[in-house]
Structure 1
Amino acid sequence: MDGHDGRSGTIRRSRRSVLVTAGGLTAGVVGTAGCLGGTGGVRVIAAGSLAVALENGVGPAFESATGLAYEGEYYGSNAALRLVEDGTKYPDVVISADVDLLRERLYPDHADWDAEFAANEVVVAYAPGTDPGARLEAGEPWYEVFADADDGAIAIGDPDLDPLGYRALHLFELAEREHGLEGFRDELAETAARVPDEPQLLAGLENGDRACAVVYRNMAAERDVAVRRLSDTYNFGNPAFADRYARASYTTDDGHTVEGTPVRYNATVRTDADDPDAGRSLVAFLLENGDLLAEHGLRVDDSLPRFHGDPPEAIEP
């Protein structure tokens, strides 16, 4: 079952056959040991930005510690939640890159609790050998560089499939407000290349197809690409700026309006999971092993974990 699932934005393959670049870094979405078909272990659908951390870090460690097999599929969070909502996929655990999105999509029919377990932020990755990259390297404001970029030079995720895509549009909207850049958001929404597979955002940078990409910090760290960090006022990484982030919004192609929020990941076990015990074991393992996530560029601070709803006793630390 290797290959693409159309607009779902996933690539699936065995962990043992993951493609690597010359530098040894994962290329493309790393995927499953199967296709969520039941292996006597835990089956997971997760945000694509967590693919490397879960497949190369958490998954193997979980298998070693528990003896349970780990199966994962990785999609943009909005696409993943749709698959659960409409009954296309039946994972034990669902992990989203937008905590509100999971609650709005899955409560109360498919979930009644979740645990926030990691944080992230939005950054601009760039290729220094390009004109936009050279300007960023020289310290020019990123929004001025983006305004001058050619069509397709900037890559963003697909805002109708994943939070990283609509957070890019939120970023452009906040920058427009902050710096008086009339029409900036709409112009970038038209000229930026929308990439449905999150890891391909950086592949385009590496193979010379793109000059810049709006990505999560952990994705850039995993691929060791050049990065421009953004101000807390619009990097979606600082909860103290939550009210400011919320000034930006986007309505997806299925009519779902999402406001800007701090980047937090949350996990839940489906209320009708095939193996809820295995699901709870995986979520508990995530909460107890934040160092595995930190090794992949995610942030796990003293404010985490945080719970919503009434988690089972096995989940609470």
Structure 2
Amino acid sequence: MAIYLDKLKMPIIIGLIVLIIASLTGYYYYTHNTKTSEIIIFAAGSLKIPLDEIASKYSEKYGVNIYIEASGSVEAIRKVTDLGREADIIAVADYRLIPTFLVPNYTSWYIGFATNQVVLVYTDKSKYHEILENNPSEWYKILMRNDVKWGFSDPNKDPCGYRSVGIIGLASIYYNDTSILENLLLNKTNIAVEKVNDTLNLIVPADLKVSENSNLIIRSKSVDLISLVEAGTIDYAFEYQSVAVQHHLKYIKLPDQINLGNPKYAYFYGKVIVKILVGTDKEKSIAMSPIIYGITVLDNAPHRSEALKFLKFLLGNTGREIFEEKGQPYLDEFIVYGKIPEELRSIAGSES
């Protein structure tokens, strides 16, 4: 009887072994053959919402998994250059960061494709918002009030942060009022200033600090401030207009001469230079200029072919419509640097 049962069990055991081997073989095949059907994107926080929507449409159409990891733009780049992490696409809020940090070791080309401007966001809970709405030019005087809490993102990690610092410098020139710089930056942080001819250099230490009991709040990336504004924890924050639109926040536009959104004032914007990561070998000087978003596919992208197809989709009509709807209109003509891949030339053009 025992021998009979053992004979009966043997086919069952063999069947289980075959099933396990088949399962493992299938898993191996899946994990190794679906790797090309995914894309990894490190992106600026202000690009997350439009990229998510474009990725959703692309995935629905082509069955590709797209992973988007948002952070400050400088931080996104340093994930690759400092931490050695793999990514296919880098998309940043300042196209100049790509040649500054990634060319030529990580990529040989990039495209500047969309624009924006910096605004001051608030809610009906924000102190003195009625004054601001009736007199938008009072914005900096309201921020100077001790009972008003306001913020911007970390200039060492996020372009909106160093642009906010630069805008405060530009405002001191535009309004001819040095107290703006002193009261909003110099007295609240360890940021320093030096004037060279008619250029204002704002020096941001790598170990940026905010003074104790200050009403200034700094967070890693600009979108991190949104929840604080919405909750009434802070009254105002410097944000991209697109972020304000996407999150349905109230905002006032700053003068074109300082909002970094009008190419007509590029020369005036350049009167302020923000030096970030000062005190490290990563120190960079960034002249203020009109906002232009940049994107590239890395040379060693693990899913390079699929990433190029996605980028072509993003730069096409679908991407353009989504970005414009989200408050980040495309440039009339893309800025192209380097010899871009053949797959993109029909839609992006050639080097400017």
Structure 1 position 149, deviation (Å): 4.6
Q: Are 2:256 and 1:259 equivalent residues in the alignment?
A: no
Q: Which moved more, 1:187-196 or 1:117-126?
A: 187-196
Counterpart-to-counterpart distance in 1, 2:39 and 2:182: 42
Cα separation, partners in 2 of 1:295 and 1:140, compared to 1, 3 Å: closer
Q: Are 2:49 and 1:52 equivalent residues in the alignment?
A: yes
> Contact conserved, 2:125 with 2:232, CA < 8 A, in 1?
no
SS at the partner of 1:314? helix
Structure 1 position 109, deviation (Å): 0.2
Partner AA of 2:341 in structure 1: P
What are the residue-to-residue correspondences of 1:180-259 with 2, within 5 Å?
Answer: 180-189=176-185, 190=188, 191=214, 192-253=216-277, 254=280, 255-259=283-287
Structure 1 position 103, deviation (Å): 1.1
Counterpart-to-counterpart distance in 2, 1:39 and 1:207: 42
> Residue by residue, what CA displacement relative to the aligned partner does 1:243-300 show, whole Å, maximum 9, x if unpaired?
2111112222242221112111111010111111111112111110210111211112
Among 297, 301, 309, which residue is 1:269 paired with?
297
Partner AA of 1:307 in structure 2: V
Among 295, 302, 308, which residue is 2:332 paired with?
302
Query: Could you say which residue in structure 2 is the equivalent of 1:31?
Result: none
Cα separation, partners in 2 of 1:178 and 1:292, compared to 1, 3 Å: same
Partner AA of 1:50 in structure 2: L
Query: Could you say which residue in structure 2 is the equivalent of 1:100?
Result: 96
Counterpart-to-counterpart distance in 2, 1:290 and 1:173: 33
> Residue by residue, what CA displacement relative to the aligned partner does 1:25-49 show, whole Å, maximum 9, x if unpaired?
xxxxxxxxxxxx9573111001111
Counterpart-to-counterpart distance in 2, 1:127 and 1:277: 44
Q: Which runs of 5+ in 2 are unaligned?
A: 1-33, 189-213, 348-352
SS at the partner of 2:293? strand
Counterpart-to-counterpart distance in 1, 2:146 and 2:256: 24
Counterpart-to-counterpart distance in 2, 1:220 and 1:63: 27
Counterpart-to-counterpart distance in 2, 1:237 and 1:249: 17
Cα RMSD for the two superposed structures: 1.8
Query: Could you say which residue in structure 2 is the equivalent of 1:14?
Result: none
Cα separation, partners in 2 of 1:82 and 1:145, compared to 1, 3 Å: same
Counterpart-to-counterpart distance in 1, 2:262 and 2:56: 31
Partner AA of 1:257 in structure 2: S
State the TM-score, normalizing by the size of structure 2: 0.75
Counterpart-to-counterpart distance in 1, 2:62 and 2:264: 38
Q: Are 2:157 and 1:161 equivalent residues in the alignment?
A: yes
State the TM-score, normalizing by the size of structure 1: 0.83
> Contact conserved, 1:97 with 1:265, CA < 8 A, in 2?
yes
Query: How many residues are paired up?
Result: 278
Structure 1 position 65, deviation (Å): 2.6
Structure 1 position 127, deviation (Å): 2.1
Among 82, 94, 105, which residue is 1:109 paired with?
105
> Residue by residue, what CA displacement relative to the aligned partner does 1:124-182 show, whole Å, maximum 9, x if unpaired?
1012333232221222421222222536x111011110000010010100000111221
Cα separation, partners in 2 of 1:110 and 1:157, compared to 1, 3 Å: same
> Contact conserved, 1:132 with 1:212, CA < 8 A, in 2?
no
SS at the partner of 1:71? strand
Partner AA of 1:95 in structure 2: A
Query: Could you say which residue in structure 1 is the equivalent of 2:307?
Result: 279
> Contact conserved, 2:43 with 2:71, CA < 8 A, in 1?
yes
Among 70, 73, 80, which residue is 1:74 paired with?
70
Query: Could you say which residue in structure 2 is the equivalent of 1:42?
Result: 39
Query: Could you say which residue in structure 2 is the equivalent of 1:148?
Result: 145
Query: Could you say which residue in structure 2 is the equivalent of 1:28?
Result: none
> Contact conserved, 1:48 with 1:198, CA < 8 A, in 2?
yes
> Contact conserved, 2:157 with 2:221, CA < 8 A, in 1?
no
> Contact conserved, 2:116 with 2:241, CA < 8 A, in 1?
yes
Cα separation, partners in 2 of 1:149 and 1:105, compared to 1, 3 Å: same
